Amino acid sequence: MALEAPMAQNQNEPNAVAGTDPWSDKTWGKNGMVAFDSTDQAPSLDGKEEDVFAFQADPHADLESQFLETTSQASGTGFLFSSDNNLFRQTGTETAVETGTSSSGIGRVQVAIHEQVSALYDGVTEEPACHVEGSIYVQPSRDLQATPFLLVIRDLENHVAHWKDWPSTCQNVSEQVPRQHRTDRVLQITTRVPKAKTPTSTRLAAEEALIGQYICTDRVRPVPLLIKSRVVTNSRYCRVGFKVRANPSNALPLTRVVLLLAVPPHMEGRTAKMSRKGGVWDELKRTISWVIPQLEPGQALEIQAQFEGPDDEPILATPPRFPILARGDYGQAFSSLSVKKTDARVSGTQAIQTLQINKSGRILHRKV
């Protein structure tokens, strides 16, 4: 999922100009990010300024409730472990179910591959600095509780730079069994049996267990979300606009996207006027936040906000910085790492009959 080259036309902006960069100033929506005039008044947008900045941030709204409400609106099902309430990993997509042909195999093992990409836009370099890290979790069925079994971690494209086994759960036995590929990592996994609450309780499902964590190489540079911002000022007012766009090459929508705009200390966030409804002002963190339930591949949205400076202190000629943080969920992992069954055995291990793989991703982008 590489950063795409400028397209011939931005279909999601009403005033897009054919043959231009979709992130150019000509595509800042029908109202544009116009500069201020020489007066101390906010500029007129052809008499439509009240329509553009029709909303104010709500200091009493509950952003967490808005975020949780988007769960039912987002595409895809919940994460594979029904007992797992971690929203970081509840948008996994089932990518494969591998069923064995051997009659000696028993049980079902669910595997979750979760990755997070952190991207930093510094306003200087054309492409963001990217960092991808991941974790792998397993949950065997009841008939595999406390029974060791083998899994193969496969990295054919050498996307993993650093790997860490989780010693309380797994042991690396790669040198003890034949491997299909030289880079295969074979792990012997044993999960704990949950303690029953009463002596008569039925057997509980095995606990979810972390088996490994990893950091990807610099070659893994997914950019599922693009961010652009602009700030204009005069002596009394400051206007900031930013656009986010889901990369058209995304295979799936981005869901439960949260956008946070950090407001400088000398700007008044409580009375800011905005072009989009739903902004939540946090006085302590000095941020305005919006929840976007879903962004389809290629879909873009634009938000503008106008702030007043202090009465006794004119706004500096140099526009202040408004850092932007965007986070969201993606129904796939970003690397090519995979988990496989194996017919190989070591003493005391049991073959797996069915292996279910789910992959999920989270994005965390910053624009400074």
Q: What is the mean pLDDT of residues 228-245?
A: 85
Q: Contact at 8 Å (CB) between 80 and 92?
A: yes
Same domain, 342 and 314: no
Domain count, the chain: 2
* Cα–Cα distance for residue pair 4/248, rounded to 1 Å: 8
pLDDT over threshold 80, residue 179: yes
What distance, in Å, lies between the first and last C-alpha atoms of the chain? Answer: 23
- Is the entire prediction scored with pTM above 0.95? no
Question: E-strand spans in 13-86?
Answer: 55-56
Residue 304, C-beta contacts closer than 8 angstroms, at least 6 positions apart:
31, 33, 52, 53, 239, 240, 241, 274, 275
The answer to whether 109 and 201 are in contact (CB under 8 A) is: no
**Low-confidence winner among 87-96, 207-216, 249-258, 313-322 (lowest mean pLDDT):** 87-96
Q: Give the rounded distance of the alpha carbon of 296 from its chain centre.
A: 14
**Tokens 């650093």 map to which residue?**
162
Instruction: Verify that 124 and 54 share a domain, yes or no.
Output: no
CA distance 214 to 39: 56
Examine the domain organization and report whether 169 and 297 are in the same domain: no
Counting every residue written for the chain, the total comes to: 368
Q: Are 112 and 151 in contact (CB under 8 A)?
A: no
47 in the Ramachandran plot: left (φ > 0), alpha (ψ -120 to 50) or beta?
Answer: left
The answer to whether residue 84 sits within a structural domain is no
- Tokens 């594979």 identify what position? 80
The DSSP call for residue 58 is B
Residues 310 and 339 grouped into a single domain: no
Tokens, residue 163: 């790997």
Residue 78 lies in a domain: no
Q: How confident is the model at residue 92 (pLDDT cuts 50, 70, 90)?
A: low
Mean pLDDT for all residues in the chain: 75
- Is 128 within a domain? yes
Instruction: Supply the CATH number for residue 114's domain.
Output: 2.60.40.1170
Cα–Cα distance, 359 to 223 (Å, whole number)? 17
| Same domain, yes or no: 249 and 261 | yes
305 inside domain: yes
Pair 114, 56 in one domain = no
**322-365 tens-digit pLDDT:** 999 999 999 999 999 999 998 888 888 888 888 999 999 999 99
DSSP letter at 16 equals: -
Return the structure tokens found at 70: 């988007």
E strands of 179-330, at which residues? 185-189, 209-216, 225-233, 237-246, 254-262, 273-274, 280-282, 287-295, 300-308, 324-330
Residues 249 and 1: their CA atoms lie apart, in Å, by: 7
Range of the domain at 115: 101-195+203-221+334-357
Q: In the prediction, which pLDDT does 198 show?
A: 54
pLDDT above 70 as % of the chain:
64
Residue 118 lies in a domain: yes
Check pLDDT > 80 for residue 122: no
